[in-house]
């Protein structure tokens, strides 16, 4: 699973890295210990206005860097607390599960991250490990998002609609499987546009895209147990254990 990650880059860096045309929602402070239910930045692409088209005659879409809560709240949910149980969706069943299947074909997102944490079991202990790109470029987790209407608020209230998301996970490769059997599904840059494409709404096409995402090349680093507590947050969390 993916239960903690790092996102310490500035909004301007994310806009540039993901070619976002707009940045919306509250800005988010850097975090070296992002946890479920936190608000973070995600990248989405949605049709702009009805009737507008790009130079190729296709409906115009805009790519946005938006602020969302980690933990998907389906539109049919009675209470947003359900999101704490939906921080991850499995690649193998994401097109089948009622909570995720509509978002998988209509509302896909990229979740920027510097890296993420997993805990490797060693006897009765768990060793925290930070995984990141050897190039130190930002990672892009495959995500899904939803808008949930708060029934307690009037239609014109600024907080009427809650934007939330989940991170898709997949079986870990042999190279990383000894750390944990699941890993976030990481979208490479050459597939960003395909993953975000709002015109891709066919289940078959989405499945083919899921299958086309390659195994990532990541570097593992054992870090200190400070990361075990969500109360701890700072760049020291990603230092090698002996230096933290």
Of these residues, 92, 118, 136, 202, which one is catalytic?
Answer: 118
CA 206 to chain centre: 17
* Of 95, 102, 113, the residue nearest 42 (C-alpha): 113
Please say whether the dihedral angle defined by the alpha carbons of residues 92, 95, 100 and 103, taken in this order, is positive or negative: positive
Active-site residue 118, yes or no? yes
What is the bridge-based pairing of β-strands 125-132 and 88-90? unpaired
CA distance 131 to 179: 10
Active-site residue 2, yes or no? yes
- Look up residue 126 and give its two tokens: 């768990």
* Of 110, 105, 107, the residue nearest 17 (C-alpha): 110
Residues forming the active site: 2, 118
């Amino acid at each position: 699973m993916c239960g903690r990650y790092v996102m310490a880059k500035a909004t301007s860096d994310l806009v540039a890295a993901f070619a976002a045309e707009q940045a919306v929602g509250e800005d988010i402070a850097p975090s070296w210990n992002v946890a479920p239910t936190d608000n973070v930045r995600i990248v989405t692409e949605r049709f702009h206005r009805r009737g507008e088209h790009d130079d190729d005659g296709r409906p115009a879409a805009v790519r946005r860097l938006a602020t969302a809560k980690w933990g998907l709240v389906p539109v049919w949910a009675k209470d947003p607390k359900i999101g704490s149980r939906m921080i991850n969706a499995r690649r193998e069943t994401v097109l089948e599960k009622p909570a995720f299947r509509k978002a998988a074909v209509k509302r896909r997102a990229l979740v920027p991250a510097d890296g993420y944490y997993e805990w490797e079991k060693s006897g009765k202990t768990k060793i925290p490990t930070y995984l990141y790109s050897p190039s130190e470029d930002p990672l892009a987790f495959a995500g899904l998002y939803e808008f949930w209407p708060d029934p307690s608020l009037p239609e014109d209230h600024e907080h009427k609609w809650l934007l939330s998301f989940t991170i898709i996970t997949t079986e870990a490769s042999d190279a990383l499987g000894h750390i944990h059997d699941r890993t976030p599904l990481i979208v490479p840059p050459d597939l960003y546009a395909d993953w975000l494409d709002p015109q891709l709404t066919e289940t078959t096409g989405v499945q083919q895209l899921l299958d086309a995402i390659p195994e990532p090349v990541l570097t593992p680093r054992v870090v200190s147990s400070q990361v075990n507590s969500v109360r701890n947050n700072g760049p020291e969390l990603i230092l090698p254990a002996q230096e933290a």
